[in-house]
Amino acid sequence: MEKVKGGIVLGKRYEVLSKIGAGGMADVYKGRDTMLNRYVAIKVLKKEYREDDNFVRKFRSEARAAAGLMNSNIVNVYDAGEDRGLYYMVMELIEGITLKEYIKRKGRLSHKEIISIAIQICTGIGAAHAANIIHRDIKPQNIIISKDGKVKVMDFGIAKATTSHTVSSNAMGSVHYTSPEQARGGFSDAKSDIYSIGITLFEMATGRLPFEGDSTVSIAIKHLQEEITPPSEYVEDIPYSLEQIILKCTQKNGERRYANTDDLIRDLKRSLVDPDGEFVLIPPLRNADTVIITDEELDDIRSNYDDDDEYDDNEYEDYRYGDDRYDDRYDDRYDDEYDDDRRGKDDEDVNPGMRKVMKVLTAVVIVIILFIVIFAIGKAAGIFSSLGQNAILEDKEDEEIEVPSLIGMTEEEAKEKLDKKLGIKVVGSEESDQYEKGKIIKQTPEKGEKVKKNTTIKITVSSGITVKTQTVPDVTGMDEDAAQKELEDKGFKVGTSEFEYDDRYSAGEVISTSPSAGSEAAEGAEVIMRVSKGTEKKTVPNVVGKKDATAQKELVAAGLVIEEVGYEYDDKVAKGKVISQSIKGGKKVEAGTSIKIVVSNGKKPEEKVEVPNLSGKTYQQAKALLESYGLVAAKGGEEESEEPVGKVSRWSSAGKSVKKGTTITVWISGGIREPDSEPEPTPPTQTPTQTPTQTPTQTPNSGGDSQTSDPNSTPEQ
């Protein structure tokens, strides 16, 4: 099988990074939108389905079904396209796990957790229903819980757009969660999704599925013919109202379920504040819930599920983006091929739909003939006449009717419910703290009493809702659970909390509420708590080597406080750039943490010193003084000078500034010498060859040095 490799770019925009999930029809990859610089999920149709126009059509249909839905509780679809033979869909990337995996980890969920998740599921599905889209494959595998607790519905793979209240289709969702009407291949509408939500609620509450079987067909038939076991038989402490909500969602007859997700959400919220209340109203049973399945219909169900083997539980394996199996059993084209193989060559020219109609008509004719024969025999024996007479007499004299509950209905709805068997009369009106104007709030006789036919039920209707207000308590700084209890004790409903970073409060403490503390709100009003996630950790940027101004700007933008900026000479770092930072780059710290940086002043300049005055010092004293200044002394010799003998007469670079380490030449005074006397005349007796000794005198040179010599000495340098 061909795989999409990381590094490929689809549509010149979406870079494929890594594989994160797989389904029967498509693989899911983590990708990056290079235009908007954000991570996305990319669903790519598998190679074996790309050449099949039918599968390509289904893939595009999913994109169309979901693309128009932008809701915080739906995995949003951003884009779809085809590139180099690859059909792809770009979706919102959610980091989290499926509800199926979450249930496996926890076993079963708490009352509040179930309702919180269910409300978010219903909000997402309700948005789809408002857009005339039925999901038809709601199950925990298609619901993701993000890391921040957000619940999102995904995978509209077999969703169907509709412009009316119902749609007819062979497409069915996962058999454990499919509605009876889907299992039978009939109509599916918004109430079919509500049935699947009910099965999901059952699994969250009990940690198990209501129906199990060896094959998909056996499970589908159980959805049609068997009642769901009340969850309280598995979980004793389940709230009564939640159990009734689950049972109402999973009624066999769609008319007895919730009409829409808004009604379901309303009861879910009420269950939070009144867990054991008896406010869930399941419409009375008018027709039998169980269904008789003919052999022909059973064959159709088998062909729809294409399940002759044992049920394979791996079909519902969890993927990070759900189990998006697009099986050919959901395709009319493949159903027809299956029927053709089953019928054989003799029926090749018979239209499959007409064949089904003929079977049904044949069965109806047989039933009618049997009825006529039985009726004729019974009438001849006088059975029906006597039974009819007795029944009429009993109906007139002794028939009693159990009074149904009319609470919450309008007068017209109550008349329709009583179906002319009982009368109704309005005897007054009162304000109500629960029911809107015109709704029944009292009845006499009450629900469950036995009365004779045609008895008049006296009713009191609501003149309007009495709005009682309550001051919202201040729960700021309290733990989330304690704050919720405080609000609920005051009669408020607590909605899903909002979380944000706040360094003023520890993680889990309440920052504020909406409505705000101290304000007046209606009793039972919903209060949303803003809860602290603690101090936000900031990543310290690495600013070493960056310019001073740029570094400071980045540190401030990261939420840090610059405590100090130092400056040092550095031969390796250019002037004005950062040499070091007190907290290493990449480290996570709390917002507002102080940081120090050191900036380069460039190369260190060469140090100069002023040559000191050496006058009046001996050579040794001059040498010591020069060395204290960092200079080197060198003896220049002795010279004729007015300075005292043995004292410094002069020195090089006098009065100048020189680099440390410079050699300073020092000359020493030899004093001023008297000129030599003239030689006496040579005695006459002197040998003519003898030459008088000369005493040369050297004039001080231009450098100020002076030297003298005599016949008995060598000049000192």
Closest C-alpha to 318, from 66, 89, 144? 144
The 3-class secondary structure across 481-546, one letter per residue, is HHHHHHHHHCCCEECCCEEECCCCCCCCEEEEEECCCCCEEECCCEEEEEEECCCCEEECCCCCCC
Q: How many CB atoms lie within 10 A of CB 144?
A: 26
From the number of C-beta atoms within 10 Å of its C-beta (0-12, 13-18, 19+), residue 182 rates as buried
Quick one: tokens of 660? 């440390």
Catalytic residues: 137
CA dihedral of 378, 379, 380, 381, whole degrees rounded to 10:
50
The amino acid occupying position 564 is E
Q: Say which residue the tokens 């002037």 belong to.
A: 575
Secondary structure of the chain: what % helix, strand, coil (to 5)?
30, 25, 45
Report d(CA 222, CA 201) in Å as an integer. Answer: 18
Report d(CA 419, CA 403) in Å as an integer. Answer: 12
Q: Are 500 and 511 in contact (CB under 8 A)?
A: yes
Quick one: tokens of 620? 């040794």
Q: How many CB atoms lie within 10 A of CB 401?
A: 16
Helix (H, G, I), strand (E, B) or coil at 21: strand
User: What pairing do the DSSP bridges indicate for beta strands 456-465 and 423-432?
Assistant: parallel
Report d(CA 408, CA 545) in Å as an integer. Answer: 74
C-alpha pair distances (Å), 494 with each of 273, 309, 485, 692: 9, 49, 9, 132
List residues bridging with 249 in a β-sheet.
Answer: none
